[in-house]
Amino acid sequence: MDELLELRSKINAIATRKVSVNDLIVKAVAAAFEEVPDANAIWNGDTIRRYSSVDISVAVATDGGLVTPVVKSVDKLSISQIGLVVGDLADRARSGGLKQHEIVGGSFAVSNLGMYGTREFTAILNPPQSGILAVGAAEQRAIVVEDGSVEAHRMMTVTLSADHRVIDGALAAKWMAAFKQHIENPMSILL
């Protein structure tokens, strides 16, 4: 997470609206779907429905419980645009102002509890979506590097829950590898 957090700081130094870590994560999720398009699908009763655009639900805590509005065409949005859309949807989710079409659709969801200090958790699928990424806090952890020495780096634990009728273990691993690559090399999500 070191490079991603450094990139966020550079963006926020010049941005008119601050970009969140979650905005960058949502964009990395979309980039992973562009590399692994077979994972961008849902179970449709007895068939698999594949999507050409990347529509991602973002979990929002409200007084009435969890709401998951859908950010449409994340693959086509800039980081700033993602921040604006997610911010608007979250504000309206908390005030009860979402419309029905804003909470249906999408093949995937992101649930981020990192801001609460949660290190890791497992999120439950929201059918018919085929996957949900549970995002924990970015925190300093000791890691052993190639020469055997120990260094502190900011790390984040994510957990993928998937409907195996659509995303089996091998496809899930391929998607997670693509997501990890984008998180660890965050300039790739800006291109």
- pLDDT tens across 122-171, in order? 999 999 999 999 999 999 999 999 999 999 999 999 999 999 999 999 99
Return the bridge partners of 71, or none: 56
pTM above 0.75, yes or no: yes
When computed from its CA atoms, the radius of gyration of the chain, rounded to whole angstroms, is 17
**Residue 150 C-beta-side C-alpha neighbours within 13 Å:** 3
Closest CA to 57 of 126, 117, 1: 126
- pLDDT tens across 51-98, in order? 999 999 999 999 999 999 999 999 999 999 999 999 999 999 999 999
Is-catalytic flag, 182? no
pLDDT at 148: 94
Closest CA to 170 of 27, 36, 29, 26: 36
* Of 101, 153, 164, 182, catalytic: 164
Reading the block at residue 143, the tokens are 């890691």
Return the bridge partners of 109, or none: 57, 132
